[in-house]
Every structure is written in C-alpha cells, then in structure tokens.
A and B are shown apart, each in its own frame.
Chain A
Amino acid sequence: MANEYRQIIRNGLWDNNVTFTQMLALCPLMAVTSTATNGLGMGLATTFVLIISNMTISIFRNVTTPEVRIPVFVLLIAAIVTLVDMAMNAWLHELHKVLGLFIPLIVTNCAILGRAEAFASRNSVLPSMVDGLTMGLGFTFGLVVMGIVREITASGTLFANASSLLGSTFSFMEVTIIHDYRGFLLMMLPPGGFLAMGFLLAGKRILDKRISAANRRRQQIVNITPAPQHA
C-alpha cells in the first residue's frame, strides 16, 4: 500500500513530471514563467485544480459511462477553474492581474484532462488526490525552475513581487542576484522560454542517465557479493 503511494509520488515529482517528462502544458509554461513568482502562482493554482478535479472525477468514475466521460470531465474541470479564477481575483488580485487570461485557460491545460483520463477515472479517491497533488507539485516545480532560470538571466532578480502572492511576510524572498544588471530581454520573451526549456530538458536527461548508471553499478555490486554460506 505504502509502496503504491511512493510510486505515485515519485511519478508526479520526477519520473513522470508534467513539464520535463510528459511535456504537457507547455503553453502556460512558456507564457507565465518570465518570473519565478508568476510560475509559482500559476503552479499552485493548477495544483489546486488538479487535486479537486481528480477527487471529483474519481468520486463519479463509476457513474460516468465511457461515451460521455470527456464532456463530463471538461465540465467538472471548467467549474473548478471558474471557482479558482474568482477566488484569485478576490484574494490575490495583483497576481490575478499578471496571470490574467492564463487562469481561465487552466481549463484547457492538457495535463489536467490527462490525469483525469489516465488516473482519476480508474482509481479510488485517495490515490487520485495524492496523484493530483504530486502531479501539481511536479508541474509547479517545473514552472518555478523555468521562472528562476529566465528571471535571473533576463533581469538579474529572483522572486520579484513575491509579497503580492504570498503576503508581505515573504518579501525576504525578493532578491537581486546580479546588481546593476543591464537585462537580457530575449530570455523574457517567448524564445527565452524555449531556450531555457531545451537546456533544462537536456540537463534532466543527463541527470537521469547518471542516476540509472549509478543504480546499475549498485546492482552489479549486489550481484557479485557471494551468497551467505549455509552450514
């Protein structure tokens, strides 16, 4: 049981990461990650939608027939996104202004429909919620990493305007990494998003190769250890 959850968590955060492995939801990824704060806000909103949509779809999975499942999923997701949109407009108005159109567009985020179809519609409620949470956090991780890379290279700052998302207690997060930086506009524009994505993907693949090579080595060592002698 615990093993099953460990697998779900591993999948969501790394092995089957929305951004870097499934490569879904690239449109909001390119559009909002010009700063790390925007990425974080977008990621958290999507995570919230994912948890709730996975939960509701899992609850209704036995009454939705295969023929109507897609419209049902889309309606549920659209209702949840509308709630999130209104809530953000009310309580996180500054961030809502920045993210703008991309909040309602979470409806069309293929990662959410993908998880509904691939996981929530065939698993029980609790695993579905865990899947939604970890997939969402994995997506948030991708958005924030992209935002960090692009924000530092484009304007030399990190988590600018974080206090408008998280409240004034988090203003310590707003750092200027490079002082008197002239700015590198390209990284803030869409091409910068594609460049950062390409290099991060290459980096993840190198890392994965290293990890699997290390695992293989460990296995070999286990194999050549002589079996305990029985008296």
Chain B
Amino acid sequence: MSTITTPLSGPHTHAQRSTGQIMALVTFALLPATAFGFYLFGWPAFNLWLLTIVSALLSEAVTLWIARKPVLFYLGDGSALLSAWLLAMTLPPWAPWWIAVMGGVIAIVLGKQVFGGIGQNLFNPAMLARVVLLISFPVELTSWVTPQVIGGSTSPSFIEGLMITFRGYTIDTVSSASVLGHVRTEVSAGHHLSTLMSQMPSPEDMGLGFMSGSMGETSAAFIIMGGIFLIYKRIITWHIPAAMLASTALLAMIMHGANPERYVGAGFHLTAGGIMLGAFFIATDLVTSPSTPLGKIIFGAGCGGLVYVIRTWGGYPEGVAFAVMLMNAMTPLIDHYIRPRIYGHKRRGVSLTYSGKRLESAHKFETKND
C-alpha cells in the first residue's frame, strides 16, 4: 500500500491579505494627499477625481462583461479604483471633464484589460493614460492654476466648479506655470537660477505643497506620510522609493555642484513635480515592478535617473510618467537576470548543506552543471 497520495492543495503559504485589502490600504494611504489636493484646488479638483474614477469603473465593468468575466468580483478588488485615483492625482486640477473621462477609459481599456486584466499588464495603467493624454492634448495637460484654497475668497464655489469642469470656464488670472516648467523656460532663455529663486515658492511651501501642480502631487509631506504607512504595513518595500529618490538627488547634487546657475539642486527636484507620488505609489505598483530586492533597487535607480535626465535635457519639463513606463518595459528583463533565491538553495542554484550532507537530487543537479 502506497503512502504517497495526491496532495489536496499546493504546499504554499497563503498570504493573509486579499487583493481587495491591499488596494484598500493603498487607497487609505492616498487619502491625506488627496484631501490636501481638494483643499488646495477646490471643487474642480473633486469633480475631476470623481469623473476619472466613475469612468474607469464603468470601463472596467463593460470590458469584464465583454470578456465574460465575473464583473462584481473584479470590480470589488478595487484595482480599477486605485488606477483611476492615481491617474486623477497626476492630472492638472482644473482639467476639463473629457480629460478625466478619456483618462479613465484609456487607463482601464488600453492599459489593463487588453493585456488580460489585473496582474497581466506590462505598463502602469495610470501612467499609460497620463502619457497618452499628455501627447494628445498638451495644452490641457499643462494648464496649471495657482492654489485657490477652499474657504479663501478666490476659491470657486460648487457651481463655478461645475462650470470649470464641464464648460471649460477659465479664469486667466489664476493660471500659472508649474515650478518645473517655469524653471525650464527661464533657464533655457538664459536666465540665472539665483535671480529666479525669489519668484519660486519657498522650500517650506514646496515641501508642504502650497504651489501650482497636479491635483495630488504637490504635497511631498502628505505623500511621504502615506508612503511610510505602506512600508510599515509591508505592502511596498523601501527599495524602489529609496533608490528612485536617491538617484535623482545624487544626479541633481552632482550637476548643481558643477554649475549652480544652470542646474537646480536636489531639494528642489525632490519636492517639485510628481516624483514623490511616483516613487511611493506608482513605481512600486506590484504588477509592473521587479520582484527581488536587488531588482527593485535597479528598477528604482533607473526610474530616478530617467526622471532627472528627462527633466533636465528632455522635451518635457516633467518625466516621471515616461521614466516609470520605460522602466516598466525593462521589468521582465530585470526579473530574467535577477532571480529570487530558491528555498533550500544558494543563490547560484547549489543546494544548501543539511548536517554536512547535500540532498541527492541537488548533488546531481550540481554535477550536471559542472
């Protein structure tokens, strides 16, 4: 009588968290920065956020229905909600309604479902949608406003907010360049940075987020708060954010040290634009980033280096979306060369010793390799 029977289930440990729970925690970590975005830019920002999410959820439902997959099951995991939320945070806060709607549809249909749905996409859906929108509608995607703090005299009322979102109502006096765009145009016009800094928001304002920029990207402080919460909850590891921020900062320090009148410093690069949101929430996307610690460091450093290169010498003032997508394309290659250690083996495939002996099968494997 044989003692070997077919195992009833695979010998794997089950992670305690479901996809839905992970997505809910990430969403929770986004709340402070999102709330600050609403506070800073008022009703139009809220409309934009809501429209992006509704259109993404509708596209997800329709594509799942076409693919004959269980609609409510996949909608309930919150991944479409999170993609749309992240996309909304990277859009200009007063963008018109159709930017939000198209962004949601592109993120879900082109960024996720054509690849086969959750877990199958090569690129981060939110960044893919942002890049498509930026290339197709450069004017709308680079129209920034100065902060119109809610409760202040210049903040648009609810009705005005609807006018801004749906009727393309613009108030010229509040439009402004983003800090990165401003520095870029002034420096390429031959101005020196030292004469420019007086027109810039103070470093404290930039760190807290009181400046023009995307809906949820301006506040480095609130995003770092959320990011640390995610690391503490072990949803992301420190590797990608640390490598990404460090490589940008290092390049900025070297270039700033070489020519301080032409290249802005590390502090500016880390607080301006979307790098904080990119480092903690976007580059760390579990589907599109490498799975090993070393792979993550290479991935993060690549993202950070590309961000600096695109911001400084590229065709656009901000490069987080392009950098993350380029490194997303590198992820399969990184995962191919940097593999996790197999349980019971050393990194190069050699079996670990057990009371001085090696397992027979592992020994064979080793001799074959020799």
CA distance A189 to B135 in the complex (A): 10
CA distance A184 to B102 in the complex (A): 11
CB pair A182–B137 under 8 Å, yes or no, is yes
CB pair A198–B136 under 8 Å, yes or no, is no
CB pair A184–B110 under 8 Å, yes or no, is no
CB pair A195–B137 under 8 Å, yes or no, is no
CB pair A184–B114 under 8 Å, yes or no, is no
> What 1/0 mask marks residues of chain A from 196 to 213 whose CB sits below 8 Å from any chain B CB?
001000000000000000
Asked if B25 is an interface residue, CB under 8 A from chain A, the answer is: no
CB pair A185–B136 under 8 Å, yes or no, is yes
CB pair A186–B136 under 8 Å, yes or no, is yes
CB pair A186–B114 under 8 Å, yes or no, is no
Q: In chain A, what residue has the closest Cβ to B132?
A: A186
Using a Cβ–Cβ cut-off of 8 Å, how many residues does chain A contribute to the interface with B?
A: 8
Chain A residues within 8 Å of B132, by CB: 186
CB pair B137–A198 under 8 Å, yes or no, is no
Chain A residues within 8 Å of B137, by CB: 182, 185
Chain B residues within 8 Å of A185, by CB: 135-137
CA distance A185 to B136 in the complex (A): 5
Q: Which of A182, A183, A195 contacts B110 (CB 8 A)?
A: A195
Chain B residues within 8 Å of A183, by CB: 136
Q: In chain B, what residue has the closest Cβ to A183?
A: B136
CB pair A198–B135 under 8 Å, yes or no, is no
Q: Distance in Å from the Cβ of A35 to the closest Cβ of chain B?
A: 17
CA distance A109 to B110 in the complex (A): 30
Q: In chain B, what residue has the closest Cβ to A195?
A: B110
CA distance A184 to B105 in the complex (A): 14
> What 1/0 mask marks residues of chain B from 107 to 118 whose CB sits below 8 Å from any chain A CB?
000100010000
Q: Distance in Å from the Cβ of A187 to the closest Cβ of chain B?
A: 8
Q: Which of B121-177 contact A (CB under 8 A)?
A: 132, 135-137
Chain B residues within 8 Å of A184, by CB: 136
Q: Which of B77-120 contact A (CB under 8 A)?
A: 110, 114
CA distance A195 to B110 in the complex (A): 9
- Looking at B114, B136, B137, which has the most chain A CB atoms within 10 Å of its CB? B136
Interface residues of A (CB under 8 A from B): 182-186, 189, 195, 198
Q: Which 9 A-B pairs have the closest CB atoms?
A: A186-B136, A185-B136, A184-B136, A186-B132, A186-B135, A185-B135, A195-B110, A198-B114, A189-B135
